[in-house]
Amino acid sequence: MVALPKVPAFMSVTEFLAWSVPGESRWQLADGEPQMMAPASRTHGAIQIELGGLIRGHLMERGGPCSVVSDPGIVPRVRAAHNVRVPDLAVTCSEYVTEEATLEDPVVIIEILSPSNKAETWSNVWTYVTIPSVREILVVRSAEIGADLLRRLSDGSWPGEPARIGPDDTLALDCIGFTCPLRALYRTTRLAAR
């Protein structure tokens, strides 16, 4: 039996970003605690790649500095010294010249909700609302066709509850001018026939 390397009990963002992560797993830092992230299910991964491709195509057609990034490190403003959360996708409209360890100024953050990661996903969402640049947060379900969308209000606050998007609804990410039928995200999944 091979012994796994010891995982530090508490880290700062600086320590986390310099850490030699054990194995091939993805990790995030939640309130100073390194957390290993489970591999994505087939449906989760298919939704991630489909939505990322749709947004990428839209942004390329539109032109400008915006781009979609898969699995970026995001540092929230609250407890910033001890958090690096890793959403499934994010859109930024900031250009960059040198490599960044974390994504600066995301405008859209997307999480794909699996039944096994519900608490972790919503915990991440509530940290994202602390980031001044974020305009929309989309949580896409992987056990059924559906999504929840939080959109920052004109006064800078967030609604108390996300807007529900159903199987026959159109998904609209207003801050980047993106729309598509919600079902398009599920095109290559087992849910597509439902």
pLDDT at residue 104 in the model: 86
* DSSP codes of every residue in 62-128: H-SS-EEEES--B--STTGGG-BB--SEEEE----SS--SS--SEEEEEEEE-GGGHHHHHHHHHHH
Going by the DSSP 8-state scheme, the letter that residue 169 receives in this structure is S
Would residue 10 count as lying in a domain? no
Would residue 67 count as lying in a domain? yes
Instruction: Residue 138: name the closest of 24, 64, 54 by CA.
Output: 54
Would residue 1 count as lying in a domain? no
Number of domains in the chain: 1
pLDDT at residue 17 in the model: 79
- 56 vs 96, which has greater pLDDT? 56
Q: What is the CATH number of the domain that holds 148?
A: 3.90.1570.10
Do 149 and 162 form a contact (C-beta atoms < 8 A)?
Answer: yes
Would residue 155 count as lying in a domain? yes
What is the span of the domain harbouring residue 176? 40-193
- 180 vs 98, which has greater pLDDT? 180
Residue 108 has pLDDT above 80, yes or no: yes
Tell me what the pLDDT averaged over the chain comes to: 89
Would residue 29 count as lying in a domain? no
pLDDT tens profile 81-98: 888 899 999 999 998 888
Would residue 154 count as lying in a domain? yes
Would residue 176 count as lying in a domain? yes
Structure tokens belonging to residue 164: 């529900």
pLDDT tens profile 123-165: 999 999 999 999 999 999 999 999 999 999 999 999 999 999 9
Would residue 25 count as lying in a domain? no
Report pTM.
0.88
